[in-house]
Amino acid sequence: MLRGWWIGALALAVVSASFAVAAQADDRTAWIANLSGANEVPARPTQARGVAHFLLSEDAMSMSYILIAANIENVVAAHIHVGPPGVNGPVVVTLFIGTPGSGRFDGVLAMDTFDASDFSGPLAGHPLQDLLDNMTSGNAYVNVHTNDGVAPTNTGAGDFPGGEIRGQLRLAD
């Protein structure tokens, strides 16, 4: 188990560093979220961790992202939600869809690009700038949801459909 944690931590560090270097190299705007169970509402007892990086395209019409998770099980979804720290908010962008009971995961969970046509909930039909404003002001977060596929839910790590790890988005340094 300790070996898996170190592999996940190393993957987080390497990919995070390369994404940050890419953002600085071409002077594009980037955001980051550090995900943990302590950031969930309510807080979740889990050893899972994650990091998400977002990079605005040169024409400011789309965002590329990478979401890395370590020491997590049964990931069923990952989203961007709008909401301040300590408050649960609606989904506005889907980053990943998985299957209940899928087992342990360490590594790159999702890597893709989205634009305003991918928005749902209160941002559906809005321009990308509306999400960027929420991300920059700390009013958006990344949430990774888990479910072991067995009733009841919320029984522990790997079974938090409302979210197991969360991190507020902020401008990257």
Fold of 2-171: Immunoglobulin-like (2.60.40)
Confidence of residue 25 (pLDDT cuts 50, 70, 90): very low
End-to-end CA distance of the chain: 32
Could you give the CA distance from residue 98 to residue 1 in angstroms, rounded to a whole number? Answer: 23
Q: How far is CA 30 from the centre of its chain?
A: 14
Integer-rounded Cα Rg, in Å, for the chain is 15
Q: What is the mean pLDDT of residues 98-127?
A: 98
Query: Nearest-CA neighbor of 44 among 161, 164, 143?
Result: 164
Question: How are beta strands 165-168 and 170-171 bridged, if at all?
Answer: unpaired
pLDDT attached to residue 30: 98
31, HSE (Cβ side, Cα atoms, 13 Å):
25
pLDDT for 1 beyond 70: no
Q: What confidence score (pLDDT) does residue 8 get? A: 54
The arithmetic mean of pLDDT across residues 143-155, rounded, is 96
Tell whether the model's pLDDT for residue 19 goes beyond 90.
Answer: no
pLDDT tens for 61-83 read: 999 999 999 999 999 999 999 99
In terms of Cα–Cα distance, which of 88, 24, 95 is closest to 55? 24
Distance CA 58, CA 62 (A): 9
Q: What is the pLDDT of residue 27?
A: 76
Q: pTM for the full model?
A: 0.87
CB 46 within 8 A of CB 165: yes
Residue 15 has pLDDT above 90, yes or no: no
Q: Is 111 or 15 the better-scoring residue by pLDDT?
A: 111
Domain segments of the chain as ranges: 2-171
Contact status, residue 82 vs residue 90, Cβ threshold 8 Å: yes
Nearest to 62 by CA among 127, 17, 133, 113: 113
